[in-house]
Chain A
């Protein structure tokens, strides 16, 4: 158990006492949320990633699934392998993890949408007899997952994003999916324009903003993303396109500069420093010479 877990438990226990008198309110889960399905079919890979997340963030309170070794909180958090949890819908579990209640923290800002579904995939791996309902994407677009492709239409100066639902290697256009595109900047990503919704062909078009600085070849790194990650997961597509202005500014560390490495120091400092040191050493050397003269003078004096 790492330190953070201990801290979480201590915080929880402390909260626990302060909440002792309060009776726990029942969960209040909106119907549409309870009916929500995972963006894709759970796979062993998802469960594996989910296990890591679970061990890091959930074990300290919920214990190991199936071992009934939860932390003694009030109320005691369920063993997530128990039938009581198994009988709840994916949407219900998702809502509970995202929003939390009482001592159960809300994970909407600390875990990514994908990770929350991964954890659920992990929890589900303990529920014998669980059959995953078809993901909503399948119902809407006839695919088991959503796929994006990103394209630069040079003549029209537009980016085209194509969204398709995939099932058994058959692709069908996904209509009504909200998308946004981003480009990489120094720190983080810059959203380009407003988000758009795909048409009946599963396509959305984005204008290329004028004069966007790219690299020296004018290339931009672009990303198209699904906005509703809760439903579809972190689906994205990326690519490098010559859609920006070439910018030929020298890199910050290419020329001699104060902030550069020692070998690229400004020339005046590379000169002044050793010269200063040499001047001092030279003077001291001269003093030693004078002392040597004092010494030989003494010899002469005693000979006289």
Chain B
């Protein structure tokens, strides 16, 4: 990185960056096809939701005993995946890790997508969604549910701000780019709030980003800790645990990092960003995934070994169902294919290349989803008082097709948000990349070029 690049060289280097990034903004055929597919899928799934609204929650497999099923498991997964924004921008960003520059915005977009839809997922678990406001009107300040609503909303807001702040210089840079339609140029100009790239403006911006990066750490920890408290503040087997907060947070880092790797892989391929999202970045993220997975593995051992050693009467029933009962196939698959084998594989450099790493991450993400299911559902099948005189489908939870479709809808929404955001804004930060390449004042250079 030569800081004394001649101006002409700077200009051409900058032009390449801008062209590479701007090429992906706006609507093209691929976007139409992909969004068309998503919309179609969404409508099919929304029909399932219509049936649930019309006939009530009975169309889902949840019953009196297992009243939190796939919806809540999915909610936990969404909150978990959204934590990646905080991990990358705040934890790594504040500690001065340089390689996050091209991935930070992708992480932030993923965070917004998952956190925003997480709230909707909760609504899908409500039989009377029109009573949602009652949470605010009649909510008790002592209830983790109220805290959860508060922190999830706050997190969405802070993530939006953290997406917007570093966008400001880029919006200015692109606001005169002839590759973009006129209306988009105008919108960018408006959103770039008079950005000129002066030293004072940079100072203010850096300050704002720093404050927000600090603020997001406790808020992000809070959203997942509070989500874990929804479970841990009850005394039920499998939930009554003091390490549920950190257990959830590390699990979240696993799911989020894996999802980020998958997203990176697809952006790199479809948006032709091989020069920015390089093998080096995949290698680094692979190592990060190994690290967080190892921590999570440690928590898993803690979470199961300690109760299994004591084997208190009710714990025994629960653990037996997980270890050798009817949840065992899922339990061991998740631990093996979603955690253990990925960790071992990723220790080898050749598995941290983009394609193998993406495939491994796919397993990790799927494992993470089922892991949430295993946290939420089996506990409710093992209450302290015996289950007596109830229909058979009260005893064992069996998700229905409608429930599954509604859950698919939430994924479709996340993908839609990620797609739209990644099409509306530059997915790679231009000014930071430029600064790193020794291009000073990219704002001025890009405007020069346009004039």
Contact = CB atoms under 8 A, between A and B. Distances in A.
6 contacts: A286-B211, A291-B204, A294-B205, A297-B200, A298-B195, A298-B198
B210 to A, nearest CB: 11
Contacts of A170: none
B161 interface: yes
A258 to B, nearest CB: 5
Contact of A299 (B147, B150, B194, B204): B194
A250 interface: no
B205 A287 contact: no
A265 B141 CA distance: 7
B208 A291 contact: yes
A262 interface: yes
A280 B193 contact: no
Contacts of A265: 140-142
A186 interface: no
A261 B140 contact: yes
Contacts of B196: 297-298, 301-302
Given A261-B140, A262-B140, 9 more contacts: A260-B142, A262-B138, A269-B141, A284-B158, A286-B211, A294-B193, A297-B200, A297-B201, A297-B204
B212 A287 contact: yes
Interface string B190-220: 0001111010110011011001100100010
Interface of A: 258-262, 265-266, 269-270, 273, 277, 280, 283-284, 286-287, 290-291, 293-299, 301-302
Lowest 6 A-B CB distances belong to which pairs? A298-B194, A301-B196, A262-B140, A290-B208, A295-B193, A295-B194
Nearest to B215: A283
Nearest to B193: A295
A286 B138 CA distance: 31
Contacts of B154: 277, 280
B214 to A, nearest CB: 9
A299 B196 CA distance: 9
A167 B193 CA distance: 98
Contacts of B201: 294, 297-298, 301
A261 B141 CA distance: 9
B198 A270 contact: no
A100 B193 CA distance: 86
Contacts of A261: 140
Contacts of A294: 168, 193-195, 201, 204-205
Contacts of B161: 284, 287
A296 B200 CA distance: 11
Contacts of A277: 150, 154
Contact of A262 (B142, B147, B200): B142
Nearest to A258: B142
Contacts of A269: 141-142
Interface string B240-258: 0000000000000000000
A227 to B, nearest CB: 29
A280 B139 contact: no
Category for how many chain B residues contact A = 20 to 34
A280 B219 contact: yes
A275 to B, nearest CB: 12
B179 interface: no
Contacts of B140: 261-262, 265
Interface in B123-172: 138-142, 147, 150, 154, 157-158, 161, 165, 168
Contacts of A266: 142
A293 B204 contact: yes
B192 to A, nearest CB: 9
A283 B168 contact: no
Contacts of A258: 142
Contacts of B211: 283, 286-287
Q: Which of A261, A262, A277, A294 has the most CB of B within 10 A?
A: A294
Contacts of A287: 161, 165, 208, 211-212
Nearest to B207: A290
A124 to B, nearest CB: 33
Contacts of A298: 193-196, 198, 201
B195 to A, nearest CB: 6
Contacts of B212: 283, 287
Contacts of A280: 154, 158, 215, 219
B233 to A, nearest CB: 10
A51 to B, nearest CB: 27
A262 B157 contact: no
Contacts of B204: 290-291, 293-294, 297
A58 to B, nearest CB: 21
B359 to A, nearest CB: 39
Contacts of B219: 280
Contacts of A295: 193-194
B139 A262 contact: yes
Contact of A291 (B139, B150, B157, B193): B193
A217 B205 CA distance: 69
A258 B141 CA distance: 9
